[in-house]
Structure formats: structure tokens, C-alpha cells
Amino acid sequence: MIYTLPVRLEDGQIFTSLPTNHISFPKVSGYDGNGLRVTNLVGFSNGDFLKKCPNCGRTKCSEAFGLRETVERDQSNCMDCRSQY
């Protein structure tokens, strides 16, 4: 997982610990415990938050996206889509 707890989403959800089961929710953004902007989250499964890539439309774990630490946010597009640039 690339995020630091707590993860606070704009829809009011706050994750102070990792869920123990699979959850899904409408696409939402927010901030992690380090103030890093998190985008396009759609759920949680297998120990990681899930994101939906706006380019290919696939849902993947946050590790498949990476971070843009210079601008303090996660990547919007997955690594597979970014590798096609």
C-alpha cells in the first residue's frame, strides 16, 4: 500500500486502520496521513486500496499507480497506461 493511515476521503469516510474485508464505494478522492492527495479510490481489497484508472478504466491496487512525490499526490493513470506515453 502506498498510502499512510489515516486515509480521509472527501465523502466523509476515514480509515484509521485497514479494513479486514473487501469494500467498494463510488469513486472518491481525499488525503492520507502524510497530507498526500489520493485520487480515484473505489474500494479496498487484499490489504490495499483500489483505484480506477481514468485512461483504461481498469480497477487496480494502489501499488499499480505509484506516487508523484514532487507534487504530493498519487498518479492518476496506472503504470501500464503511463508506459504507453
Over residues 23-56, the pLDDT tens digits come to 999 999 999 999 999 999 999 999 999 999 999 9
- Please give the DSSP secondary-structure letter assigned to residue 25: E
Q: Coil, helix or strand for 26?
A: strand
* Position 69 pLDDT exceeds 80: no
- The phi and psi torsions of 33 (rounded to 5 degrees) equal -65, -20
The per-residue pLDDT for 68 is 87
The answer to whether the beta carbons of residues 40 and 53 sit under 8 Å apart is yes
Residue count of the chain: 85
The per-residue pLDDT for 72 is 86
Tell me how far apart the alpha carbons of residues 63 and 18 are, in angstroms, rounded to a whole number: 15
Confidence of residue 71 (pLDDT cuts 50, 70, 90): confident
The answer to whether the beta carbons of residues 28 and 37 sit under 8 Å apart is no
Return mean pLDDT, the chain.
95
pTM: 0.91
